[in-house]
Amino acid sequence: MAAAPVLELAGVDAGYGVFHALFGLDLRVEPGEAVALVGTNGAGKTTVARVASGLLTPTAGTVSVDGVDLTGRPAQDFARAGVVHAPEGRSVFASLSVEENLLLPFRRQFGRAGVADALARAYELFPRVGERRNQLAGTLSGGEQRMLTLARALVLEPRLLIADELSLGLAPVITAEVYDVLARVRDAGTALLVVEQHVDHALALASRVVVCAHGQVVAGGATDEVDLSTVFATAGMPDDGGEAIR
């Protein structure tokens, strides 16, 4: 018998007040699987990520992590079940120092004894972050803030890592490095849900692609099997594998 999917959204409706963003959306991520979620702006990708990490409670449908129904539970229960969400945009505590930003999750995950080791690993991944460990996180550049977010997420080695537009604001060289790290994390057994405009990076990493449009899943399949031009046409995206956006 197959293991339960690490993440399962079933018939999810969600939105913001009177604005509906998702309409009966279904999505599964198997343990250790890397899934790329693609779609145009406004397709609902970020809302999927928010529902999957418990930030947003769906108005209908269920969200399960490792087969446990967590619908309506606060985000901390998702985090404790091993879901780590690196939200889009600035997502660090600006008024805490860089190191304090890392201490928050590391203390919980590794205990007092493991913190030093975890910090060392984070700074090894992104030496730039280590150089600025005593600076207020709000004074970092946009790219450095992304690195800090990623350092936090990657060191935690979660069951599932949800990365929303994580290359946004990063130099191409750094983006490439980040994807190398993501590949290592995936190989170590972490499931990935990657929301990305840089479709070529995401597709190279993922084993499966899910295309989102108008708040629903409109197409999908194994990255080496589906016809990408059909996929992009379905999603209303330019048919060049993201070339237009680069």
Partner 1 sequence: MTAAAAVQPVLAAGAVGDFFEYAVRGIPFGCVYALLAVGLVLNYKTSGVFNLAFAAQAYASAAVFYVVRKEHEWALVPAALLSIVVVGAALGFLLDYALYRHQRTASPLAKLVTSLGLLVAMPEMVKLALGPGVKANPPPLWTVRRTDDFLWRVGGSRFVLDAGQIATVLATVFVVIGLTLLFRRTALGLQMRAVVESPRLLRLQGVDTDRVAVVSWILSSMLAALVGVLLAPLFAQLTSLDFFTLLVAAIAACVVGNLTSISGAFLGGLALGILQAELAGFLPTDSVVANGLRPSLPFVVLFALLLIRQSVRSARTVTDPLAGVDPPPDPPPADIRPAWMTTATRAFAVVVIVAGFALCAWVFDDYWVGLIAAGVCLAVVMLSIVLTTGVGGTISLCQCTFAAIGALATAQLTQHDVPVLVAMVGGAAVAAAVGAVLGFPVIRLPGIYAALATLAFALFFEGVLINLSWVSGGDTPLRVPRPTVLGTSFLADRPFLVLAAAVFAVAGVAVIALREGTTGRFLDAVRTSDTAASSVGINPARTRLVVFVLGAGLAGLGGGLVASFSGQANYSQSFTFFIGLVWLVLVITAGSRSVQAAIISGISFFVFPALLDRLFTWPVNFVDTNPGAPPWLLDIMGFFKPEWAQGVAFVLFGLGALTYAKHPEGIIAAQTSASIRRTVRFVERRRPAATSPSNGLDLEAPA
Among 59, 69, 76, 230, binds partner 1 (CB under 8 A): 76
| Other CB atoms within 10 Å distance of the CB of residue 61 | 18
Among 7, 9, 43, 79, binds partner 1 (CB under 8 A): 79
If one asks whether residue 54 binds partner 1 (CB under 8 A), the answer comes out as yes
For residue 96, the one-letter residue type is: L
- Compare residues 99 and 223 and give the one whose CB is closer to partner 1: 99
**Contact letters for partner 1, residues 175-214 (x by CB under 8 A):** ---------------------------------------x
- Residue 100: CB minimum distance to partner 1, A: 6
- Residue 173: CB minimum distance to partner 1, A: 25
d(CA 30, CA 78): 16
Residue closest to 61 by CA, chosen among 69, 36, 47: 69
Residue closest to 196 by CA, chosen among 86, 93, 92: 86
Residue closest to 22 by CA, chosen among 201, 244, 228, 218: 218
d(CA 95, CA 22): 33
Residue count of the chain = 246
If one asks whether residue 80 binds partner 1 (CB under 8 A), the answer comes out as yes
If one asks whether residue 58 binds partner 1 (CB under 8 A), the answer comes out as no
- Residue 203: CB minimum distance to partner 1, A: 25
- Compare residues 45 and 208 and give the one whose CB is closer to partner 1: 45
DSSP 123-177: HHH-HHHHHTTTSBGGGS-HHHHHHHHHHHHHHT--SEEEEESTTTT--HHHHHH
**Contact letters for partner 1, residues 92-121 (x by CB under 8 A):** xxxxx---x--xxx-xxx------------
Among 1, 17, 127, 225, binds partner 1 (CB under 8 A): 17
| Other CB atoms within 10 Å distance of the CB of residue 197 | 18
Stretch that binds partner 1, among 14-22, 167-175, 193-201, 226-234 (CB under 8 A): 14-22
- Residue 207: CB minimum distance to partner 1, A: 26
**Contact letters for partner 1, residues 128-147 (x by CB under 8 A):** ----------x---------
Alpha helix segments (H runs only) across the chain: 45-52, 75-80, 98-125, 127-131, 142-155, 172-187, 199-205, 228-235
Interface residues with partner 1 (CB under 8 A) are 15-20, 23, 50, 53-56, 74-76, 79-80, 84-85, 87, 89-96, 100, 103-105, 107-109, 138, 214-216
